[in-house]
Every structure is written in structure tokens, then in C-alpha cells.
Chain A
């Protein structure tokens, strides 16, 4: 049980970190670009919101499988296998939780408007400096919100994990899968403990986020 909790926390942390690193620039591009193509990208990012996780998992499994071009390339060049491994889970989670990070961050960037960036430019800040010293600090509430939602959403992931990760203790057996296993085995006591734990943790997460966000908005505006 402890093993699956630790694995879940590790998966959610790594996923959130990666999502902040790639989701923030992506959200910035979606917020600022006027390219027609951005709506296509925005739609792709939003897809996991509506797709059944099994569909996503199925395609990921095909893409990562040892016979797919991606799978072959990865195993030949990097000796990396993705199907039924922790690394594979991370990739699946990143895609699966992407909209939960990108959307709030993009909203925060949208809310800044063009003016602060123009101000920064007239104060000699290059676009990159303006991004780091003006856009990011002003979007802090959105970044926090995205991080918490991404983290919490990854914790609750089940379908994608089952499809591409299976049920390998210490490698891919996360809490949600463990709960399913306990129920299958009629071990209600353990299922209860994990479920209640997840419920409480998610509640605390989102409550903390709401409170922090409120305080940040007050501090900024």
C-alpha cells in the first residue's frame, strides 16, 4: 500500500513539473499568437477533457509499443521502453493532465492583457525578460491553480494507467489501480483507507489552492 502511495506521489510530482515546464510556454503561445493554427493546437490540448481515458490509453499503447516506429526508435537509440514502465506512465499523464494546467495558465496570461508587456518593452525589457519579470509574476495565481489541478488530476488517473502501465507493483501500480485491486479482491478495509485518503488529500489540495489564490490576487491587484 505504501509503495503505491509513494509511486502515485512521485508520478504526480514529476508530471506536474514537466507540465509546468512545457505547458507554460504553450499557454503563452496560445494566449499571444494570432496564427490560425493555434486553435487546432488548443483543441488537441483540450481533447483529454472529453475523450474516455481508455481511448487515449489505447493509442498511447499502440504508439509506445515495441513494434511501433516510436517504440522502436526509443528502444534502439535510448534503450528506453515505455509500455508498462514508469516513464511511459509519466508521458501518458502529461498528455492526460495537460488541459488542467494549460487552461488556467492561459486564462491568467489572457487576463494580463497586452499593456504590461508593452510597458516592459518601453522599459527596455526584451520579450524574454518581459516574460520572466512581468508575465510570469502576474500570472502566479493561474500557475498555482494549474499546478494544483494538474497534480490532483494525475493522482486520480486510472484508465490511462491501466491501459499503458498495467499493474506492476513499484513500477506502475498507482493508488487508483490499487483501490480497484482491493475491491476486486473484496479487501474493503484497505480500499476504504486509500479511497478516504485520496478524497481527503484532494479536498485539502483544492481548498489550499482556493485560499492561496485569493490571497495572491489581493496581493497583486
Chain B
């Protein structure tokens, strides 16, 4: 069976070589994930046609955008592109920026002008010029502008990376809402596992221009070896919302029959959400400990053990039912507790680490 989007690009440039194959279903958000310099932006630009791979092929739905003797220029591809830094056209007002692509669209409108303005909350700034907006506002306009070109495929290149954490907090809810409501297949470039966790269902990992892994986000993260983790090693769990507790600002998730508290989510009861759990916020005990401020205690089985290169810490892979967790502990406690593969233990997850606001640096 072939995927909705299938592409393969080979490109050589100075000391960098990209050789990557990519596929994506016609729904949902796929992350292109990797460190800076791994080629994820280049891959995205190849999909957009902004960069022409020396050899490559790309098919989207039933359209061939690139083949050995065919290259559809970017302006003839039904894409929406959000650049890393908001690149609003500086001589045009917000309104003119929003309509710039829209006025050239001759297909049926899936997203109307008013709808985009409302979805991204830019109604109050239509007559302003880009230099009069904050970074977060500019990026919202840029996202709205991309949506209004009625894309078949939305391409986002680290749309949050140029923003401070306040700006990120400001935009993430809009991104979550639009990826949930608009059903435009999206490729999302990022090096932040937290962003990816909140927005993406699938993941393609890149390293030095090559794809090292791809698949469902939770699975890819669970099998990601220590050497490929970017930043703090983390696991991603996926579970349903059981209840909301606005009084404490918490939502409760159902994780294999256990209740996990996370920060209040803007999601329906029963809806599936993803949560990133950093390994440093997971502790291991051999007995159940009650009355801890860590609150979340889950029975788990040790399925893998990896020493950190420093020789001081260990990364323990845990399985809780169908979910995977990672725990970072010292080699000392590892030996004191006598941990070994296959052992049944209790994983304690620090609640505060599941508060999303803490995780966006």
C-alpha cells in the first residue's frame, strides 16, 4: 500500500548530504525531528520545491511534484508554508498579507478569510504593518496566511523557535486547535520533543541527512536510543482524558487503569492526548510508596537498561501496560535497589513535570 505523500530526495552541498525518504498519510501531523543541522529544514524545503534536490521524487495524492524529468515550481504546488521566523511581507498590512495568497486561489475555499482571522485571533490587527506586531502576533498572521492559500499540505518549519517562551505559549493553543480542527495533513519541523508531543501523531527522525526512524510518535520515542535523544531523554505517553479539575488546574488521564494528573488540558473528556514525560522526573522504587508529593505511582516492568556515557547515571526503560516510560537514576541507586531487566517495580512520576508550561523553554 502506498502512502498519500511519498518522496525521496538526494542532495549534496558542501559538507552536507541529504538522502532521505519520506511518507505521510493524508491526515494528521508528522514531525520531522532532529538536531539542528540534521537536514530537517532542507527536507521540508525540498517538499515545498524551494530547494531542488539533485535527484528526487515526490508524489502528493495523485499529483507528481517531482520526478526525474519533472519539477513543479513551488508556486504551482498546493502548499502552505510557515517559515521559521515570521516572514510577513513588510510593505503590506496584516490584511494584505492574509489575502496575498488567497486572491490567487481558484479552488473551492475550505478555509474562508473570516474563519482564519477568527481561528488565529488576528481580527484586531488587520490594518497594522508587520513591524508594529509582536513576534507571536506576526507568526499567527503567517500561519493564517498559509492556511488561506487553501493548502493540500501544510509545511511548518519550526514556527515557534524564533519566539520566547511567552510567545510559544501564546501560539501553541492556536496550532493545537488548527491541527485538530482543519484536517490538513501537515509536516512539522522541530527539535523540541515537547512541541512535537503536543502537535504531532507521527514522527520522522533525521540525523546527518538520513532518516533513522519513523512511525507512530509514541513508538518512535519509546525505541529511541539514548544517543539519538535530543535534549533531556523523554518518553511520550498517549492516553484518554478521564476528568478535569479546574479548581486545582489539573486534568486526569487514564493510564492503564491508573490515574495520572497533568496540567489542565483544553480537550474533551475521553479525547486522546499525548504527554511528554522527561526521564529525570521519573523515579523507581521496588515497593509502592504512599503519600508522596510525586502523586503518580504506576506499576511497571524494567525492559531495558542503558548507561549514560558519564558512567554516573543510568537510563531505565520501563513498560507500563502498553505505555513506555524512561527513568534517569544514578548508578548508585541502580545497584542499591538491585534493579535488573524483567523486574517489577513502581515508577513514580513527578506531577509537576507534566505541567506543560514547565516544559517549554
A and B: real partners? Answer: yes
Q: A-side interface residues toward B, CB under 8 Å?
A: 115-116, 118-127, 129-130, 133-134, 137-138, 219-221
Task: Let me know if B307 is at the binding interface, CB within 8 A.
Answer: no
Please give the distance in Å from A212's CB to the nearest CB on chain B: 16
- B83 interface neighbour in A115, A130, A134, A137, Cβ under 8 Å: A115
Listed from nearest, the 10 A-B pairs whose CB atoms lie closest are A123-B101, A122-B81, A124-B104, A121-B74, A121-B75, A137-B91, A119-B87, A123-B100, A124-B75, A115-B87
Task: Tell me which residues across on chain B come within 8 A of A118, comparing CB atoms.
Answer: 50, 74, 83, 87
The answer for the CA separation of A81 and B149 in the assembled complex, in Å, is 54
Q: Among residues 91 to 148 in chain B, which have CB atoms less than 8 Å away from a CB atom of chain A?
A: 91, 100-101, 104-105, 131, 145-146
Please give the distance in Å from A117's CB to the nearest CB on chain B: 10
Please give the distance in Å from A94's CB to the nearest CB on chain B: 29
Task: Tell me which residues across on chain B come within 8 A of A129, comparing CB atoms.
Answer: 104
Number of B residues whose C-beta is below 8 Å from A?
Answer: 23
Instruction: Tell whether, in the assembled complex, residue A220 and residue B75 are in contact, meaning their CB atoms are under 8 Å apart.
Output: no
Instruction: Tell whether, in the assembled complex, residue A220 and residue B50 are in contact, meaning their CB atoms are under 8 Å apart.
Output: no
Task: Tell me which residues across on chain A come within 8 A of B100, comparing CB atoms.
Answer: 120, 123, 125, 133
Task: Tell me which residues across on chain B come within 8 A of A220, comparing CB atoms.
Answer: 90-91
Instruction: Tell whether, in the assembled complex, residue B91 and residue A122 are in contact, meaning their CB atoms are under 8 Å apart.
Output: no
Task: Tell me which residues across on chain A come within 8 A of B75, comparing CB atoms.
Answer: 120-127, 130
Task: Let me know if B80 is at the binding interface, CB within 8 A.
Answer: yes
Task: Let me know if B79 is at the binding interface, CB within 8 A.
Answer: yes
User: Which residue from chain B places its CB closest to the CB of A134 in the assembled complex?
Assistant: B89
Please give the distance in Å from B328's CB to the nearest CB on chain A: 40
The answer for the CA separation of A138 and B79 in the assembled complex, in Å, is 24
- A116 interface neighbour in B79, B87, B145, Cβ under 8 Å: B87
Task: Tell me which residues across on chain B come within 8 A of A121, comparing CB atoms.
Answer: 49-50, 73-75
Task: Tell me which residues across on chain B come within 8 A of A122, comparing CB atoms.
Answer: 48, 50, 74-75, 79-81, 101, 146, 149
The answer for the CA separation of A215 and B100 in the assembled complex, in Å, is 25
Please give the distance in Å from A101's CB to the nearest CB on chain B: 21
What are 11 A-B contacts defined by CB distance under 8 Å? A116-B87, A118-B74, A118-B87, A119-B81, A120-B89, A121-B75, A123-B145, A124-B149, A125-B100, A130-B75, A138-B91
Which of A118, A133, A220 counts the most chain B CB atoms within 10 A? A118
- B90 interface neighbour in A124, A130, A221, Cβ under 8 Å: A221
Please give the distance in Å from A217's CB to the nearest CB on chain B: 11
Instruction: Tell whether, in the assembled complex, residue A123 and residue B149 are in contact, meaning their CB atoms are under 8 Å apart.
Output: yes
Task: Return the CB mask of B64-76 against A: 1 if under 8 Å, else 0.
Answer: 0000000001111
User: Which residue from chain B places its CB closest to the CB of A115 in the assembled complex?
Assistant: B87
The answer for the CA separation of A125 and B105 in the assembled complex, in Å, is 10
- A123 interface neighbour in B73, B90, B91, B104, Cβ under 8 Å: B104
Given contacts A118-B50, A119-B87, A119-B89, contact A124 B105 (CB under 8 A): yes
Which of A121, A122, A137 counts the most chain B CB atoms within 10 A? A122
The answer for the CA separation of A118 and B79 in the assembled complex, in Å, is 12
The answer for the CA separation of A122 and B154 in the assembled complex, in Å, is 11
Known: A129-B104, A133-B100. 14 other contacts (CB 8 A): A115-B87, A116-B90, A118-B50, A118-B87, A119-B81, A119-B83, A121-B50, A121-B75, A123-B100, A124-B75, A125-B75, A127-B75, A138-B89, A219-B91
Task: Return the CB mask of B36-66 against A: 1 if under 8 Å, else 0.
Answer: 0000000000001110000000000000000
User: Which residue from chain B places its CB closest to the CB of A138 in the assembled complex?
Assistant: B91
Instruction: Tell whether, in the assembled complex, residue A125 and residue B104 are in contact, meaning their CB atoms are under 8 Å apart.
Output: yes
Please give the distance in Å from B209's CB to the nearest CB on chain A: 21
Task: Tell me which residues across on chain A come within 8 A of B81, comparing CB atoms.
Answer: 119, 122
Q: Among residues 136 to 166 in chain B, which have CB atoms less than 8 Å away from a CB atom of chain A?
A: 145-146, 149
The answer for the CA separation of A126 and B131 in the assembled complex, in Å, is 26
The answer for the CA separation of A115 and B211 in the assembled complex, in Å, is 27
Task: Tell me which residues across on chain A come within 8 A of B149, comparing CB atoms.
Answer: 122-124
Please give the distance in Å from B197's CB to the nearest CB on chain A: 27
Task: Tell me which residues across on chain A come within 8 A of B105, comparing CB atoms.
Answer: 124
User: Which residue from chain B places its CB closest to the CB of A116 in the assembled complex?
Assistant: B89
The answer for the CA separation of A120 and B73 in the assembled complex, in Å, is 12
Task: Tell me which residues across on chain B come within 8 A of A115, comparing CB atoms.
Answer: 83, 87
Please give the distance in Å from B337's CB to the nearest CB on chain A: 54
Instruction: Tell whether, in the assembled complex, residue A138 and residue B90 are in contact, meaning their CB atoms are under 8 Å apart.
Output: yes
Task: Tell me which residues across on chain A come within 8 A of B80, comparing CB atoms.
Answer: 122
User: Which residue from chain A places its CB closest to the CB of B78 in the assembled complex?
Assistant: A124
User: Which residue from chain B places its CB closest to the CB of A126 in the assembled complex?
Assistant: B75
Task: Tell me which residues across on chain A come within 8 A of B49, comparing CB atoms.
Answer: 121
Task: Tell me which residues across on chain B come within 8 A of A120, comparing CB atoms.
Answer: 75, 89, 100
Please give the distance in Å from B94's CB to the nearest CB on chain A: 14
Task: Tell me which residues across on chain A come within 8 A of B74, comparing CB atoms.
Answer: 118, 121-122
The answer for the CA separation of A25 and B131 in the assembled complex, in Å, is 29
User: Which residue from chain A places its CB closest to the CB of B79 in the assembled complex?
Assistant: A122
The answer for the CA separation of A133 and B76 in the assembled complex, in Å, is 17
